[in-house]
Amino acid sequence: MPRLAKIILGLNCCLITALLTLGEGGTERGTTLAAEFSGRVREKMLSRFRVEDEEDLHWKDMIRGSMGYSTMPSEQKTSFLANDMGVRSAEEGQYDQAIFQFNKAVQLPTLWYAFYNRGTVYARQGKMDLALADFSKAIEINPNSADSFHNRGVVYTQKGQYEPALAEFNQALKLRPEDADAYYMRGVVYLKQGQHDPALADFNKAVELAPNFAKAFCNRGVAYAMQGQMERALPDLNKALEINPKYSKALYIRGLVYSQQGRKEQALADYNKALEIKPDNDKVFYYRGILYYSLGRQDQALADFNHALKLNPKYAEAYNNRGSIFTAKGQYDQAIADFNQALGQNPRYANAYYNRGVAYFNKSLYDKAVADFNKSLELDPKLADAYFNKALALEAAGRQDEARAAYEGFLKNAPPEAREQIEQARRRLQR
C-alpha cells in the first residue's frame, strides 16, 4: 500500500487551534496505521477566540432602590419594594420569582433600573432578546446609565454582534471613563475579532484600574498566547490563578500553553485540576484527549473524546479526533461514521474531509478518497498533504496523469519540513 502523508487532529479552542505532534523527536513519525501508513501531525497557531460560556462574560450588578419608602405614594412604594424583592430573589437564584417581582416594579414606567434588573435576570436565563429589550428600555428612560449600555453590550457579544457590542462599550466608557469592566469586555470583543493589539491595550487598562481582576489577567494571557508570546502569557495565567485558584478556564488555558511549550506533565496536571473544579467541561476533556494522544495513550484519549461527546453531542472537533483514533486502530467504518458526524455539524470542516479520505483510502475506496481530498482542498487550498494523498489515491485507481498533477500541487504547497514526502513526490514525477 502507498505511504500516506498523515492524519489530522483538530484542537479548536478559545485560545489555540493546534495539531499536536504524534511521537517524539525530530522525525514527527506517529503510529503505524496500515502496512506503509504513518500518521504525522504538526502544530500551528490560529487567531481564533470565542466566548467560553459565562466565564468570559462580565455583567454589571443589579441595582437596589436608594430612596426611603416611608414618604412615597403607595403606588411608587409598591414598585420600589417589588424591585428590591426582585433583586433579593435573583441573588438567591430564584429567577422566576425575581421576574415576577420586576414585572410589578416596571408598572412604574420611570423606574429605569427595574427594567435594567429584569434584563439582567433574563440574560442569566439565556433569554437574550428579552434582555436586550429591557436594557434598551432602561436606556430610553435614563440615557446616562453606563451599566445599561454595558450589559446591552454583553448581550450583543453573546449574540455574536461585535460591532454593536463595541459601540455599547464605547458609550459606557464615555459615561464612565474609569470603568475596568467596560475595558475588559471591549477587550474580549476585540479578541474575538482577532484584533490582538487593541485587546491587549484594553486588558492592560482593566488590570491597571482593577489589580485583582482575574478574568482580565486570564484573557490578556489568551491574547499573548494567540500572538505566540507564550513566555508573556504564562505569568498572566499564573496571576489569574493566584487571585482565583478555582478559575477553571485559567487552568486549562495554562494547560494549553504548557502543552505548546512541550511541558506535557504540567499540562496534564492543569487539565486534571480544571476537571476537578468543573467536571462537566467538554472542552477540557477534548484538550486532555489530544494531550493523551500525543503521549501515545490512545485508550485514554479515546475515553476523553467519548466523554466530551457525551457532554456535547455536537462537538465536531471531538468527532474528528475520535475518528482519527479509530483510523489509527484500523477501525475504518467507525472512523468514517465519526467523520460523517463531524461534517454534519460543520459541512466546511476541511480536516474532517481529509481524514475521511484517509479512511476511505485504507478501505481501498480510492474514488471516494479522491473526492474527499478534493473537497478538503476546495476548503483549504494550502493543505499540502491532501495533494499528496490525492496523488497516491489516483495512482492506486490507475489515474496516472491526474496523479502527476496532484504531486505537482503538493510540491507547490509543501512545507520545507515535509522532506520525506517531497523526495517521494519528486521520484514519482521522474518515472
134-159 confidence digits (pLDDT tens): 999 999 999 999 999 999 999 999 99
CB atoms within 10 A of CB 224: 23
Model confidence at 49: pLDDT above 70: no
pLDDT of residue 96: 96
Model confidence at 36: pLDDT above 90: no
pLDDT band at 9 (very low <50, low <70, confident <90, very high): low
Model confidence at 47: pLDDT above 70: no
- Distance of alpha carbon 343 from alpha carbon 338, whole angstroms: 9
Percent of residues, the chain, with pLDDT higher than 70: 84
- Distance of alpha carbon 65 from alpha carbon 190, whole angstroms: 35
Grid coordinates representing 246 are: 478555582
pLDDT of residue 8: 56
Helix axes of 196-209 and 214-226: crossing angle, nearest 10 degrees: 160
- Distance of alpha carbon 164 from alpha carbon 128, whole angstroms: 15
Model confidence at 70: pLDDT above 90: no
pLDDT of residue 4: 53
pLDDT of residue 72: 61
What distance, in Å, lies between the first and last C-alpha atoms of the chain? 18
pLDDT of residue 419: 87
- The model's pLDDT over 323-367, given as tens digits with 9 standing for 90+, comes to 999 999 999 999 999 999 999 999 999 999 999 999 999 999 999
Helix axes of 350-362 and 332-345: crossing angle, nearest 10 degrees: 160
φ/ψ of 391, rounded to 5, equals -60, -40
Q: Cα 299 vs. chain centroid, distance in angstroms? A: 25
Contact 300, 271 (CB under 8 A): no
Contact 61, 179 (CB under 8 A): no
Model confidence at 42: pLDDT above 90: no
Model confidence at 73: pLDDT above 50: yes
pLDDT of residue 34: 23
pLDDT of residue 291: 95
pLDDT of residue 98: 93
- Distance of alpha carbon 95 from alpha carbon 102, whole angstroms: 10
Domain boundary assignment for the chain: 32-45+312-429
What is the DSSP code (8-state) at residue 92? T
- pTM, 2 dp: 0.81
Model confidence at 43: pLDDT above 50: no
pLDDT of residue 55: 64
Mean pLDDT, residues 40-46 taken together: 25
Contact 119, 90 (CB under 8 A): no
Grid coordinates representing 38 are: 504513518
- The model's pLDDT over 366-402, given as tens digits with 9 standing for 90+, comes to 999 999 999 999 999 989 999 999 999 999 999 999 9
The residue ranges of DSSP E strands in 36-182, in sequence order, are: 37-38
Model confidence at 225: pLDDT above 90: yes
pLDDT of residue 249: 94
Task: Show Cβ contacts of residue 216 under 8 Å, excluding neighbours closer than 6 positions.
Answer: 180, 183, 184, 187, 203, 206, 207, 210
Mean pLDDT, residues 414-418 taken together: 87
What is the DSSP code (8-state) at residue 69? S
pLDDT of residue 368: 97
Task: Show Cβ contacts of residue 90 under 8 Å, excluding neighbours closer than 6 positions.
Answer: 62, 98, 117, 120, 121, 124
Model confidence at 422: pLDDT above 80: yes
Helix axes of 146-158 and 162-175: crossing angle, nearest 10 degrees: 160
- The model's pLDDT over 161-193, given as tens digits with 9 standing for 90+, comes to 999 999 999 999 999 999 999 999 999 999 999
Model confidence at 297: pLDDT above 50: yes
Fold of 32-45+312-429: 1.25.40
pLDDT of residue 195: 95
Q: Bridge partners of 37?
A: 34
pLDDT band at 26 (very low <50, low <70, confident <90, very high): very low
Q: Three-class SS string for 148-198?
A: HHHHHHHHHHHCCCHHHHHHHHHHHHHHCCCCHHHHHHHHHHHHHCCCHHH
- Distance of alpha carbon 422 from alpha carbon 386, whole angstroms: 13
- Distance of alpha carbon 86 from alpha carbon 63, whole angstroms: 10
- The model's pLDDT over 77-122, given as tens digits with 9 standing for 90+, comes to 888 889 999 999 999 999 999 999 999 999 999 999 899 999 999 9
Which contacts of 305-308 are long-range, i.e. CB under 8 A and separated by 24 or more positions? 307/282, 308/282, 308/283
- The model's pLDDT over 182-222, given as tens digits with 9 standing for 90+, comes to 999 999 999 999 999 999 999 999 999 999 999 999 999 99
pLDDT band at 15 (very low <50, low <70, confident <90, very high): very low
- The model's pLDDT over 59-69, given as tens digits with 9 standing for 90+, comes to 667 676 655 55
pLDDT of residue 418: 85
- The model's pLDDT over 235-291, given as tens digits with 9 standing for 90+, comes to 999 999 999 999 999 999 999 999 999 999 999 999 999 999 999 999 999 999 999
**In a 10 Å sphere around its CB, with 0-12 CB exposed, 13-18 middle and 19+ buried, how is residue 265 labelled?**
exposed
- Helix, strand or coil, per DSSP, at residue 422: helix
Q: What separation in angstroms does the CA of 70 have from each of 53, 66, 429?
A: 43, 12, 92
Q: DSSP letters along 282-326, please? A: HHHHHHHHHHHHHTT-HHHHHHHHHHHHHH-TT-HHHHHHHHHHH
Contact 48, 17 (CB under 8 A): yes
